[in-house]
């Protein structure tokens, strides 16, 4: 038995070693990868043979830029001469039904690279995977010397699990420039995301030019500048200049749509109604039910809601459109008319989330409407509003999608549901045979902290990378045909700039894309974590910021029966050692390494830790006060 156990242990160790030595580290993990001996050496004169497809022009241009900028090599394109080419892009005829529109086959042998696909999107994704096979220096913006430009020999077959692979980016809480939005789209497209959910309106800013309603941007796009923790900021004074903000002209939007289309990304616009509408009401006070709305201003970060817990809340300021005011529907007809004409995507997102009803409940105009329409409660009232908005949008030739609150009071025929309050709303909508996009807070809210609050900017919840990787868009017992896919959501209340947006997105967006692209049976945390580290190196070369939180511990504290304080440190990676000190000095690899719960010395003031792999520091120096540990242990 001992010999058997030793053999099993040896086999496991060999298997792990082989996995660690894998030369293919693609994100998202392809459907099938067969590694072969040898490598392909990129020639200094790269010849690409490609079919004559107009939709392939950008992919060819991008490939040329990527394979020549860092290498200093040249590239020549041919057509119909595959035998003499370095790289062959071959359109499959007849089409391969398994690959679909976005799938590809990638073969790298010692003589040639061949990418086969049915359509242009498949070639684009095949090229993205190919570039990930070359050394990380391929991402550099200038020529790199002393690099062997090789790719490992392999046969890869790949296609997505879901058609909807999204990232939501909130540009209302903080404005991001046209170029920054393009950069974000470019980053997500590199990893095979294909839906950019653009959250364009909220209490803090209206970001889209509506030509028939100019005050939405002349008033609603601007607020008093504030820095600090959003939600706890001081109320803006009447005479403070409103200089912070911005908006996208319709020409800007057309340019961004064209940019995204080249990268096979659809843009889903969101106009969030009836709640989250303070910027609109500040622009056009007649859209409100509440007297005094003419004094409302665009929110700058001050508290406007009371959060009561258990998903309940009330509004301090009435930030909801009035469902009993016909002017609201005239306004929305104008807004959605221009939105529908501008955005080619089939869907428009109408929000529908977190609409406070406390002002509605005491408004005579609304109560009269409810009596007239035989509406029992506020949920049915909001459903009435949603039905009217849906009618407006469908008349423009578009489909409606909204947050899962649109289920309350009755789901409108044909509406799709984006489930954010866990999976419950998505499950309910799927059972009603409605289309569903899963984006539950549990796995997909990348505005949450990535690690311990001792080092992360404070937000109200934490989502570690390993938890994000557990995302499965099809919950048990749900008919998969109604699940369109899934996405991650980046709300930006606490995200002031693009560098921090990158930090919040990566690496957790890697977990999301692998959850919506890769077959569930192919997912493996240890393998994924190893590939993430390889992509950290690539992001370093690209100068894209990411969170190193995966290397850093979280802290939990407890009191034993004698009142002694103990601290435990949990890490996401097994091969990381956490070195610590209580003596106020800075720990390195020569300090004690954490193995089990540590007793906190009686007079200690702070715990400092640093993560290492061998002698190499990983992550950041972390400091947590003993007072904070006592609070976590429940000691008063």
Residues belonging to the active site: 354
Q: Which letter, b or e, does each residue of 229-251 get, where b requires 16 or more Cβ atoms within 10 Å of its Cβ?
A: ebeebeebeeeeebebbebbeee
d(CA 38, CA 36): 7
Query: Which residues have a Cβ under 8 Å from the Cβ of 25 and sit 6 or more positions away?
Result: 132, 530, 531, 534, 535
Long-range contacts of 339-342 (CB under 8 A, 24+ apart): 339/208, 339/269, 339/271, 340/393, 340/396, 340/397, 340/398, 341/396, 342/250, 342/253, 342/254, 342/257, 342/269
Do the beta carbons of residue 138 and residue 71 sit within 8 Å? yes
Give the CA dihedral 10, 15, 19, 20, nearest 10 degrees.
0
- Which among 279, 269, 496, 588 is positioned nearest to 398, based on CA atoms? 269
Give the position of tokens 């030793």.
6
The DSSP call for residue 214 is T
- Tokens matching residue 235: 């109320």
- Tokens matching residue 56: 């392939």
Query: Which residues have a Cβ under 8 Å from the Cβ of 162 and sit 6 or more positions away?
Result: 473, 483, 484, 485, 486, 516, 517
**What is the DSSP pairing of strand 201-202 with strand 205-206?**
antiparallel
Q: Which letter, b or e, does each residue of 433-465 get, where b requires 16 or more Cβ atoms within 10 Å of its Cβ?
A: ebbbbbbbebbbbbbbbbbbebbbeebeeebbb
d(CA 584, CA 604): 9
The continuous run of DSSP H or E covering 271 comes out as: strand 266-273
CB-based burial label for 617 (10 Å; 0-12, 13-18, 19+): middle
d(CA 633, CA 625): 13
Do the beta carbons of residue 574 and residue 533 sit within 8 Å? no
Do the beta carbons of residue 27 and residue 535 sit within 8 Å? yes
- Which among 388, 375, 385, 391 is positioned nearest to 405, based on CA atoms? 385
Give the position of tokens 């590939």.
531
Do the beta carbons of residue 514 and residue 28 sit within 8 Å? yes
d(CA 543, CA 237): 39
Find the helix packing angle between 326-342 and 378-395, rounded to 10°: 40
Query: Which residues have a Cβ under 8 Å from the Cβ of 481 and sit 6 or more positions away?
Result: none
């Amino acid at each position: 038995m001992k010999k058997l156990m030793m053999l099993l242990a040896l086999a496991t160790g060999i298997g792990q070693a082989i996995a660690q030595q894998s030369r293919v580290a693609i994100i998202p993990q392809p459907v099938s990868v067969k590694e072969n001996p040898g490598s392909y050496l990129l020639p200094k004169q790269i010849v690409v043979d490609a079919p004559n497809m107009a939709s392939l022009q950008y992919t060819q241009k991008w490939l040329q830029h990527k394979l020549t900028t860092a290498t200093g090599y040249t590239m020549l394109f041919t057509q119909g001469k595959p035998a003499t080419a370095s790289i062959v892009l071959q359109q499959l005829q007849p089409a391969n039904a398994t690959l679909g529109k976005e799938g590809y086959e990638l073969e790298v042998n010692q003589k040639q690279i061949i990418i086969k696909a049915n359509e242009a999107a498949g070639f684009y994704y095949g090229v993205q995977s190919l570039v990930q096979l070359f050394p990380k220096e391929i991402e550099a913006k200038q020529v790199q010397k002393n690099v062997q430009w090789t790719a490992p020999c392999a046969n890869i077959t790949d296609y997505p699990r879901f058609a909807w692979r999204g990232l939501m980016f909130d540009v209302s809480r903080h404005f991001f420039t046209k170029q920054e939005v393009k950069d974000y789209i470019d980053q997500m497209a590199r990893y095979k995301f294909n839906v950019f959910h653009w959250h364009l309106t909220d209490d803090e800013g209206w970001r889209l030019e509506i030509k028939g309603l100019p005050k939405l941007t002349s008033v609603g796009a601007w607020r008093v500048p504030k820095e600090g923790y959003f939600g706890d900021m001081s109320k803006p004074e009447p005479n403070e200049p409103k200089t912070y903000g911005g908006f996208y002209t319709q020409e800007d939007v057309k340019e961004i749509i064209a940019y995204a289309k080249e990268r096979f990304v659809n843009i889903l616009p969101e106009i969030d109604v009836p709640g989250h509408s303070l910027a609109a009401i500040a622009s056009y006070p007649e859209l409100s039910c509440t007297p005094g709305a003419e004094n409302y201003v665009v929110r700058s970060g001050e508290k406007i809601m009371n959060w009561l817990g258990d998903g309940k809340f009330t509004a301090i300021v009435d930030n909801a459109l009035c469902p009993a005011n016909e002017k609201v529907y005239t306004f929305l007809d104008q807004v959605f008319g221009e939105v529908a004409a501008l955005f080619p995507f089939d869907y428009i997102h109408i929000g529908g989330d977190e609409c406070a009803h406390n002002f509605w409940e005491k408004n005579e105009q609304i109560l009269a409407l409810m009596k007239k329409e035989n509406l029992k409660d506020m949920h049915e009232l909001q459903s009435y509003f949603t039905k009217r908005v849906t009618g407006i949008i469908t008349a423009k030739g578009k489909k409606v999608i909204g947050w899962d609150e649109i289920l309350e009071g009755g789901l409108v025929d044909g509406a799709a549901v984006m489930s954010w309050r866990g999976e419950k709303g998505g499950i309910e909508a799927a059972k009603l045979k409605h289309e569903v996009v899963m984006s539950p807070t549990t796995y997909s809210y990348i505005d949450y902290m990535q690690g311990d609050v001792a080092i992360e900017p404070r937000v109200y919840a934490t989502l570690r990378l390993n938890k994000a990787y557990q995302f499965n868009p099809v919950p048990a017992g749900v008919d998969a045909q109604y699940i369109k896919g899934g996405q991650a959501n980046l709300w930006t209340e606490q995200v002031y700039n693009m560098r921090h947006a990158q930090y919040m997105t990566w690496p957790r967006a890697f977990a999301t894309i692998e959850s919506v692209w890769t077959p569930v049976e192919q997912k493996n945390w240890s393998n994924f974590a190893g590939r993430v580290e390889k992509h950290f190196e690539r992001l370093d070369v690209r100068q894209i910021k990411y969170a190193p939180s995966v290397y850093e511990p979280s802290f939990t504290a407890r009191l034993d029966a004698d009142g002694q304080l103990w601290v435990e440190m949990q890490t996401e990676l097994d091969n990381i050692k956490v070195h610590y000190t209580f003596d106020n000095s800075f720990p390195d690899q020569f300090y004690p390494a954490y193995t089990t719960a540590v007793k906190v010395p009686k007079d200690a003031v702070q715990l400092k830790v640093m993560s290492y792999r061998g002698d190499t520091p990983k992550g950041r120096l972390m400091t947590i006060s003993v007072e904070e540990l006592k609070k976590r242990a429940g000691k008063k």
